[in-house]
Amino acid sequence: MAAGADGACAVMVLLVIGSMAAGGDATAGFIKSPLSQRRLTQDSVELHCEAVGNPIPEIQWWFEGNEPNETSAQLWDGAWQDRVQINATYNLHSTSTIIIANLTSEDSGTYECRASNDPDRNHLSKSPKVKWIRSQANVLVIERPVITGQYISSAGKVILSCNMSAPPTPIKGHKWMLGDKTLKTEESNSNSYISYTIEGKVEDHSGVYECIYETNPVAKGNVSIEVPPQVVAYKKSEHGNEGDTGVMICKSPSYPPVDTWTWFKSDQGVSPIVNGTGRYIIKSSGNKTELRILKLSIEQDTGDYHCNGTNLKGPGSATVNLRVRSRLAALWPFLGIVAEVLVLVTIIFIYEKRRKPDEVLDGKRRLRKSNATNHKDKNVRQRNAN
């Protein structure tokens, strides 16, 4: 339906713009009108209006409150202590969006979009030939209900609950969310007290959980589970080659995020590793820290490193064991083979030197079976005798 309406609007814009291009003046006409809305106090509301005409029409916004003594007043960008913002474009046709932030119940009333391209439209004494055209929307601002959220944890379970006082309209259901993930949806549950159970330890389930009531408008509360950082090392032990760069990483999946990360080397006591000193580089963000050590040295860098993260709830830490191997370490197997070959060659050489007199007799066979035993030699001699 909405797509169809948009399509119709687009066709209309093209028709009107086409007729304007053809030459003739065209009085202003709306192609999009603001829609009535319901909102809670402290929310914001956005109304949108578009008009066509030749010349391109001017758009104004006017407000009339619900009090009987109120008269309508024009709204401008920055009105109402800067709570009103108006974004307008005048490019082929006119568009205007009014945004009212931090609503109060006094903002309830009629909002009017007015458009005109009459040259005399803002003239004080001349009455314009064509009046402003108008399009209205009602905004109803309802007192935000109080939603209290809390949690209890016991026996390997965490139970979150929300309780809403004075629902603005009947509750048609609710859902629980964590970030943009929906955890649970319950339609046709009209309770104002709702709960959600998580299996596991509270430390593993920190975060800001949202409880969302299907009222009109929807009302949201939250349950915030805050724990000290549950720091884990990306790898409990790291290996590096002498002269290479060593990298150690710690993470905290917890809420709230870590404010400060510090790295310690266990044999350097309580003085933390300072970023940029020596061969150390530390990179930290809210949930991850990385310690890089340039040009690893076996004597100086081998050992245990602690990463400590601290948030509002306290500290947490993990340990990474760094092992630095000699550059030669990677060569050991190769060197072993080389040594073995050398030993063999030496043995063969010595053996051959000792056997020199026999060589004249049966040179080829001796070379191939250089380790042949005396016993075999006897057989050969026997065969020769035969």
Ligand X SMILES: *[C@@H]1O[C@H](CO)[C@@H](O)[C@H](O)[C@H]1NC(C)=O
**Residues found near ligand X in the complex (CB under 6 A):** 67, 69-70, 87, 97, 99, 102, 104, 163, 165, 193, 208, 222, 253, 264, 275-276, 281-287, 306, 308, 315, 317
The residue assigned the tokens 């007192």 is: 143
**Residue 194: partners with Cβ closer than 8 Å, 6 or more residues away:** 161, 162, 163, 174, 176, 186, 211, 213
Contact between 112 and 131 under an 8 Å Cβ cutoff? The reply is: no
Please, which residue, 28 or 250, has the CB nearer to ligand X? 250
Q: Closest separation between CB of residue 317 and ligand X, Å?
A: 3
User: Which two structure tokens, joined as six digits, stand for 305?
Assistant: 């490193």
Q: Which is nearer to ligand X, 118 or 238 (CB)?
A: 238
Between the CA of residue 263 and those of 227, 234, 278, what are the distances in Å? 21, 14, 14
Give counts: helices (H), strands (E), the chain: 6, 24
* Min separation Cβ 101 and ligand X, Å: 7
Is the Cβ of residue 20 or residue 158 nearer to ligand X in the bound state?
158
Which C-beta is closer to ligand X: that of 20 or that of 98?
98
CA R_g for the chain: 41
Nearer to ligand X, 19 or 222 (CB): 222
Pairwise CA distance, residues 187 & 351, whole Å? 93
CB of 132 to ligand X, least distance (A): 22
What gap in Å lies between CA 44 and CA 42, rounded to an integer?
7
In terms of CB distance, is 132 or 264 closer to ligand X? 264
Q: How far is the CB of 327 from ligand X (least distance, A)?
A: 27
Residue 225 CB, nearest approach to ligand X (Å) = 12
Sheet holding 260-265, edge to edge: 237-241, 314-325, 303-311, 260-265
In whole angstroms, the minimum distance from the beta carbon of 215 to ligand X comes to: 15
Residue whose structure tokens are 């309209």 = 169
Between CA 382 and CA 378 the distance in angstroms is 6
Minimum distance from residue 149 beta carbon to ligand X (Å): 7
> Could you tell me if 214 and 171 are in contact, meaning their C-beta atoms sit under 8 angstroms apart?
yes
Calpha distance 18→22 (Å, rounded): 6
Quick check: 309 and 250 in contact, CB under 8 A? yes
Q: Which is nearer to ligand X, 19 or 224 (CB)?
A: 224
The closest of 214, 216, 222, 209 to 173, measured between CA atoms, is: 214
The smaller minimum CB distance to ligand X, of residues 6 and 70, is found at 70
Q: Could you tell me the smallest distance in angstroms from the CB atom of residue 116 to ligand X?
A: 23
Of the pair 30, 264, the CB lying nearest ligand X is at 264
| Cα torsion 64, 70, 76, 82: sign | negative
Cα–Cα distances in angstroms (integers) from residue 34 to residues 67, 116, 142, 312, in the given order: 22, 16, 19, 45
- Based on CB atoms, which residue is closest to ligand X, 174 or 306? 306
Six token digits for residue 209: 């959980």
Q: What one-letter code names the amino acid at 285?
A: S
Q: Minimal distance in Å, beta carbon 342 to ligand X?
A: 49
Give the shortest CB-76-to-ligand X separation in angstroms: 14
